[in-house]
Amino acid sequence: MSRKPSISEIGAFLGALRATAESKADPGPLLAEKADLLQRIADANPGDRDAAEVAREARAAADRHNRR
C-alpha cells in the first residue's frame, strides 16, 4: 500500500505550483505530480470513492496534457 503524502511533500508541491504559475512555465510536470499525490491519498483511503474519482480525473488531465 502506498503511504500518504507528507505535509512537506504537499508543501513542496504547492510551492512548485506557485512558482510555475508566476513564471508561466509548462504545468505538465506538476499535473503528473498532482496526480501521483492524489493517487497516494486515494490508495491510503480505499473506501473513499470521491478520493479515487479525483485521482482518476487528475491522472486523465495529466495524460491529456502529455499527449499535446
pTM attached to this predicted model: 0.89
**Tens digit of each residue's pLDDT (9 = 90 or more) over 21-44:** 999 899 999 999 999 999 999 999
Grid coordinates given for 55? 485521482
Query: Does position 68 have pLDDT exceeding 90, yes or no?
Result: no
Q: State how far the Cα of 36 lies from the Cα of 65, in Å rounded to an integer.
A: 15
Query: Does position 61 have pLDDT exceeding 80, yes or no?
Result: yes
**Tens digit of each residue's pLDDT (9 = 90 or more) over 41-58:** 999 999 999 999 999 999
Q: State how far the Cα of 61 lies from the Cα of 27, in Å rounded to an integer.
A: 11
pLDDT value of residue 16? 96
pLDDT value of residue 1? 56
